[in-house]
Structure 1
């Protein structure tokens, strides 16, 4: 391979003898260790004739005005007498007027002025008018590293290293390769000293450097080049990072993990993949494809408020032309207990109460009777508890028998790791003049406040029911005097009594079905 030549100045000289002319550029520059070819032609009287006398050309470097050092010749006799073998050659035929000069493995000492001399038979002529000046500079040329096939993970690829301007057939160069990719077991280490290597790249080789270093032994100079490997590979190391609530850093639960998330909490899912070229990322919930939260960030999925419907498998898929990979995460939506219509009813001579709750994880249910705690599946002569659970549901029933004191508080409580909820029932004394009766009502913090806010409505409701249930007017056409029931005293209501009601609540069973002289038992649930 030849170094591109500098601009050439062809010039004849009027000082030459008639018929003698040499055409060569005035100067040439070459770097240490490299090669250069200088085109040259000449003419002399009789050139092109039938004279069979051989023509010999020689190039001399001017050492001083009177002495020239022979650098190149095609004259075998003079070549044999040369003590110093310089890397200068005459590749052409001087007999045909070709005086071209080739310089291989240029060295600093080769710089200077040169002239051409012709010998043919008895004719000897030195072309001193048109001289060639050779400049030898420091080596700055770097090697070219060429990748013959695109670098794809697992596929063989050939890489070559060469120095532009280095001569073909000159003294062998010393070439060495260095780089992390060369540690691959598939690489033949003996080939690392060759101008061509076979590389089977891996994904981890992408972005690493590969260096080729070339040394010119004759000159003792070196040059090197480094390239960054661009290795294509399918998506790998796919991961999902999560950010719950006001987090400061992502957490990575791993493929196939189950993640508990509190209902109503915000959740950010960030999918990332290692691939080249970059993979296209997409999200799916179950079999349904989801759109990205932000089009410019397809790997980010944001759930501002987690709902029960989000409790399923979320899958992120990464795909590029070389393959695809997916990773999944199952969301388990957790939430505190929710009591569903707890109730009590009279069955025969006993009181039967039921309580159901749903939560995730499933709640535990327990009863409180007065100051006592009742839980699990237990029974004695006075009470029986039966509990069961299935999935997120928990159910419990309480049966009370025997005499019940008035003013007794009964409550059902559901609890899990995320909270609790309870419903309370209050056993109240019944109508005083009937004696022995009682009323059951429920109370709770928020429910009491709600009832207080609804007092006017309750009073109206009580009055209306009272008028329906009051006895016929006494003689004289007036309503019988009556008093407000005991729940008004419990709630702190102060109103003028119009009539008596067992309690401002919904009756369990119509009063007409109850024995006379017994206060109608009734139940009110007040949500906590």
Structure 2
């Protein structure tokens, strides 16, 4: 300190002095001195900012920041600025004046000032006092360092102690463990450096006081990782680099730090946790031990409840998610496990399900196919048909119809039906019609070749699998062109009654036919009826009966045609009526005809005998009979014998009956009659009007009814298949 400078010294008070007056004076002086100090502390411009209390562990260091101010107006004699940090002693003290001594000083920038012995060089001023920075630090803290400290400065004659502002330093035993860094980076297969950092960041100017770090159970060699900061302090650490494997999982590592200055050692032991992406994923079915986790599909039945548990292994514990078609499903989480619950499973729940396990280091997936078996349902039919005139039409172009649909097909067409049912496993199908099993093709198609009207009805398909069966049906409607009614009560014929002509024509078809009449080229319908010509119709389902009444009809030859048509074709029925001549000579005419027939037969017999003899004599080729075509279709035998439909003979027992023959369809072979005498001409067949053909594409079915009245002898007998319709005369 500069010479002549006065200091205040704390001394023990002599409470044992014998002079009471002197003692009281001393105490009074001391009180006044403290009062003056307190008064000066309240002067404006004197201020100090420092921590009121700090705690430090033994063997470490502590830095206490501090700033102070004083009024420059009182700095009348500028000089060197000296600062002091003083530990306040709790013992009794007195005030005295010396030149080089000030009790309890632990740190100062005054080189001539003595420092208390316990402080040594461990207390250091770290700030610049000329800038108002009064910060200081304590290294290698000891228990003796615990206490209260205050700040004082002297500058020339200006001296001031901030004793009313105290900083308390508390010292505890060293308990802080070393820090092991980078544990979150210990990833499987990835190079990692683990660092053990000693507690405290201090200057540690003397090397022997610096912390000493050691490892135990290392998988490699350690190296120093010390670091000096810009303020001169140090952080001491040690590290090692390695590539973790699953064998390092759970390895115990210990880092120990020894502080030589205080003889204290602290350690930190960890269990190494190696992080790795999910590597194992399993799908199990709780309650079903027979279900293997290696299976890639699960077969269940509709209505069942299915639970699938997905488990995964990884560090950190992976999150597990169930997905279907990249859509996350609602699941039940159980840590690294997740349950997929499918209640009352439906056919729509079938498909591929994906379990995904994921953490920060990767992900893994596993798929399982859920197959739902269910009974046959949603019956549908594939239908194809080909037209009878062009079988290529509609082939290869099936259309799908629902169960219960109605199909319409034309007679003669080809129809193919395929029954399909939505089911799992696939169902086998069987066809039935009116309880009768139908045979299908090997490719499961039911084929109806040349569809007939009798094929109309309900066709039922039964689909059966291992679970249940189901049925579907189609109603088939067959459309066909008009046909002659085959019912006995629906007789199609014409007859005379008195002077009237009555005709009935019964036809059936789908759709029902429209019937009209043609009389010698004149068309007559129900709408064009007159007083003489009346037409009426009756309809029963697909059958139509048309009746014609011709009042006062002519007595000569007539051609009456019944025409029935619908969208599919035309049916024609022709009645041929010849002139009617009957009377008393009818029996004689019959007798004469019989005699002529017998004579003709004898001539033929004799002729045949002569031919046989001639053949024997000549031994030549056989002599062929000269054929003669006879149009026997245009007359009615009014004799006592007529040909029946089966080729036999019937006797006409009633002369009032007139028989007409109805020619069957198709070509008829000519019949051979007896040879004629020389010079006799064969009569030219009579020309009978024919009904017009309704369509050039499809020939109509034409039926003829021939009625003939003759007064001469009976015609020769010929055998042919003739259909007769009865014409009654009343």
Give the TM-score band, short-chain normalised: 0.5 to 0.7
CA contact (8 A) 1:378 1:386 kept: no
Give the whole-Å Cα distance in 2 for the aligned partners of 1:309 and 1:334: 11
Residue from 464, 467, 471 that aligns with 1:326: 471
Give the whole-Å Cα distance in 2 for the aligned partners of 1:374 and 1:491: 17
Structure-2 residue corresponding to 1:501: none
Residue from 144, 147, 160 that aligns with 2:282: 144
Deviations 1:193-226 (A, max 9, x none): 95212113321232x2211111123xx2111122
User: 2:461 aligns to what SS in structure 1?
Assistant: strand
CA contact (8 A) 1:175 1:212 kept: yes
Shift of 1:385: 1.5
User: 2:372 aligns to what SS in structure 1?
Assistant: coil
Residue from 334, 351, 355 that aligns with 1:212: 355
Matches within 5 A, 1:357-368: 357-368=507-518
CA contact (8 A) 1:153 1:203 kept: yes
Shift of 1:190: 5.7
Q: Give me the CA root mean square deviation.
A: 4.7
Residue from 105, 117, 121 that aligns with 2:275: 105
C-alpha distance 192-366 of structure 1, shift in aligned 2 (>3 A): farther
Query: Larger Cα Rg: Structure 1 or Structure 2?
Result: 2
Deviations 1:80-139 (A, max 9, x none): 94487621xxxxxxxxxxxxxxxx534xxxxxxxxxxxxxxxxxxxxxxxxxxxxxxxx6
User: 1:62 aligns to what SS in structure 2?
Assistant: coil
CA contact (8 A) 1:413 1:423 kept: yes
Deviations 1:295-343 (A, max 9, x none): xx34x21112223332121111222233222110011222111134742
Unaligned segments of structure 1, at least 5 residues:
1-29, 34-56, 88-103, 107-138, 432-453, 469-478, 493-503, 513-522
Structure-2 residue corresponding to 1:6: none
User: 1:232 aligns to what SS in structure 2?
Assistant: strand
Give the whole-Å Cα distance in 2 for the aligned partners of 1:429 and 1:487: 17
Give the whole-Å Cα distance in 2 for the aligned partners of 1:83 and 1:410: 125
Structure-1 residue corresponding to 2:459: 314
Give the whole-Å Cα distance in 2 for the aligned partners of 1:398 and 1:485: 35
C-alpha distance 378-176 of structure 1, shift in aligned 2 (>3 A): same
The answer to whether residue 630 in structure 2 is matched with residue 457 in structure 1 is yes
Residue from 398, 411, 417 that aligns with 2:567: 417
Q: Select the structure with the greater relative contact order (CA < 8 A; seq sep ≥ 6).
A: 1
Structure-1 residue corresponding to 2:693: none
Bigger Cα displacement from structure 2, 195-204 vs 266-275: 195-204
Unaligned segments of structure 2, at least 5 residues:
1-186, 191-214, 225-238, 243-247, 258-265, 289-298, 387-392, 486-490, 582-626, 642-676, 691-703, 713-722, 726-730
Q: How many equivalent residue pairs?
A: 359
CA contact (8 A) 1:265 1:304 kept: yes
Residue from 347, 366, 379 that aligns with 1:203: 347
Deviations 1:175-203 (A, max 9, x none): 111115978xxx74565995212113321
Residue from 259, 262, 271 that aligns with 2:407: 259
Matches within 5 A, 1:347-358: 347-358=497-508
Structure-1 residue corresponding to 2:662: none
User: 2:437 aligns to what SS in structure 1?
Assistant: strand
The answer to whether residue 307 in structure 2 is matched with residue 158 in structure 1 is yes
Structure-2 residue corresponding to 1:51: none
Give the whole-Å Cα distance in 1 for the aligned partners of 2:455 and 2:705: 40
Structure-1 residue corresponding to 2:539: 389
CA contact (8 A) 1:280 1:320 kept: yes
C-alpha distance 216-228 of structure 1, shift in aligned 2 (>3 A): same
